[in-house]
Amino acid sequence: MEQTIEPATSSRENAPRATRAQFLATDDKAMLRAARDLTKDIATAKGRIYWPDMLLSAGVGYAAMAGAILVDSVPLAIALGIVSALALYRALMFIHELTHIHRNALPGFRLWWNILVGIPMLVPSYMYEGVHTIHHKRTQYGTVEDPEYLPLALMKPWSLPLFVLVALLAPVAFIVRCAILLPLGAVFPPIRKLVWERASALSINPEFRRRAPEGEMKRRVFWQEVGGFVWSWLLIGSVFAFGWRPLLIALSIVSLTAVLNQLRTLVAHLWENEGEPMTVTAQFLDSVNVPPPGIAAEIWAPVGLRYHALHHLMPSMPYHSLPEAHRRLKRELGINSTYDGANHPGMAHLVARIARSTMTKRG
């Protein structure tokens, strides 16, 4: 018996990893069925996890930011600034959950996230809601209509550092948008249209044009924009009351947060699609999981984003259930299954892979 099993096991362990190219036209239906059947009992968002996580992350982030502003020691200020950036980064990433959880699942969560995180960081939830879901549509993922996709692996090598470093300017861009462009748009409709289409979404695709909001979203956008306008001018006014130092430290912290998010975005996918629609399985394999045992991914890809490929397989699965869903699918489907093809060891490995691709394919 051992002689018949051993070669089969060895063969499977040595089999090549599944790739996007294998599933452009057809899905791995067994994997999709397993993802559906094995996770039904963990698909409900739990407020007792969401609320403390978000509130603690925001609280630590703002407290550490205040400490960085108030202390006289430069090394201590830098340390507190890093803690603040990491905590606020985690708090900010709940915007991703807001786009997927049912609107009645966590009463008040969207409102208080905007009050405590979205508006203070000038990234209200409407900048992601109604945009990120396009990224999950089967016929639009990876195409020119996808706001969150660029074929980075097929672009010039210099595009990768530029993609990351441009995020340093994000905090200043958000202030200009909220303090100047929004009120100008209220007076001049052509400016309003331009700002909405080109600068109202957390998008990386320069070809993306956002459609005008409708219904409930239109009302939500109005109040969130009012909040962003008021807060942006309070930030500007703080310079006259407290000088430049507090604002510059705060902007530096938010810049670090933006760079962390851009680095995570850089390795969230393999970015190998040239614009053709893909099956769900191909989308999954063009996306990235960075599962345990490593713990670094929990820092640079918080709130379940280390399981980004699994999230593309089950977009509505709450972040706290993704680790268990991963364990179940890994156990059920085994080594070198299609599911295993989306699991990668870490950020350095992924950056190196994408960088090599830019040099060999378009270098």
For 159-191, the pLDDT digits (tens) are 999 999 999 999 999 999 999 999 999 999 999
pLDDT at 363 over 50: no
User: Residues 83-88: contacts with CB within 8 Å, 24+ apart?
Assistant: 84/60, 84/253, 85/61, 85/253, 85/254, 85/256, 85/257, 85/260, 86/61, 86/260, 86/299, 87/57, 87/58, 87/60, 87/61, 88/57, 88/58, 88/61, 88/62, 88/117, 88/121, 88/253, 88/254, 88/257
Token pair in block for residue 207? 């070809």
pLDDT at 15 over 80: no
Read off the pLDDT band of 361 (50, 70, 90). Answer: low
Task: Indicate the average pLDDT of the chain.
Answer: 92
Contact status, residue 50 vs residue 97, Cβ threshold 8 Å: yes
Quote the CA–CA distance of 19 and 160 in Å, as a whole number: 22
For 197-231, the pLDDT digits (tens) are 999 999 999 999 999 998 889 999 999 999 999 99
Token pair in block for residue 189? 């409709």
DSSP H or E run through 191: helix 189-199
pLDDT at 123 over 50: yes
Residue 163 is which amino acid? F
For 75-117, the pLDDT digits (tens) are 999 999 999 999 999 999 999 999 998 878 899 999 999 999 9
pLDDT at 3 over 50: no
Token pair in block for residue 5? 């099993």
Average pLDDT rounded to a whole number, residues 122-142: 93
Residue 239 neighbours by CB under 8 Å, 6+ apart? 247
* Per-residue pLDDT, 13: 55
Estimate the crossing angle of helix 244-266 against helix 215-242, to 10 degrees.
140
Average pLDDT rounded to a whole number, residues 237-262: 97
Q: What angle do CA 6, 7, 13 make, to 5 degrees?
A: 90
Structural domain spans, the chain: 20-361
Does the global pTM surpass 0.75?
A: yes
